[in-house]
Copies of this chain bind each other. A is one copy, B any other.
């Protein structure tokens, strides 16, 4: 078995190396990469089918790397190992996981034991392992108490990029009014409507406030924004 570790922090990388060695005695080769970029290259070169991947690396982040790896070999087993459980990351991951692929999502705050268990489960047993806390986020984001639909999320991202209603309508092949409808749903779900106290009305620019709330609640994060920005420029050129 060959395992690829993609992680930019040297400390965490060597810790992972250790953990892989300890949890997977049948593993006869461990490759390390320190960025998403080089991770993709190493994966291609060494033909690994087991990857431990950090999200949020400075160069090219884990989600993008995972997507290209999966595009080339959809049967690759990937264990995501991340600091946070931002809804933006969780959503980003589940957006790219191919049909039937096996993967895992473990937080860095988890114990050694949990990490090793996850390594064995995902790589040997081909079983999906999602950290309890991450699972919670997933549930909440789907079971729509405050959870956003995919459609709503898309609009949110476009708004956050700074596009006008008209531009969004054009990009998404919708009428202007439909876009504004979706926006209103967003405003409700994000509870953007003013402060409860006082006669503070009209204090918020709803469009901007919605994005601010999404950022504060980690529904959006800057890495998701960066991805969207790149995508926007690519598409506008094509």
Contact = CB atoms under 8 A, between A and B. Distances in A.
Per DSSP, chain A at the interface is: helix
A159 B211 CA distance: 11
Interface stretch (A7-15, A45-53, A127-135): A7-15
Contacts of A208: 159-163, 207-208, 211
A204 B162 contact: yes
Interface stretch (A24-32, A70-78, A139-147, A222-230): A222-230
A164 B229 contact: no
Interface stretch (A91-99, A117-125, A173-181, A213-221): A213-221
Nearest to A167: B203
Contacts of A204: 162-164, 167
Contacts of A212: 160-162, 225, 229
A192 interface: yes
A94 to B, nearest CB: 21
A126 interface: no
Contacts of A218: 222
Contact of A166 (B202, B225, B229, B236): B202
Given A11-B11, A211-B162, A236-B200, A216 B222 contact: yes
Nearest to A229: B216
B213 A162 contact: yes
A209 interface: yes
A153 interface: no
A11 B112 CA distance: 12
A162 B192 CA distance: 9
Contacts of A221: 222
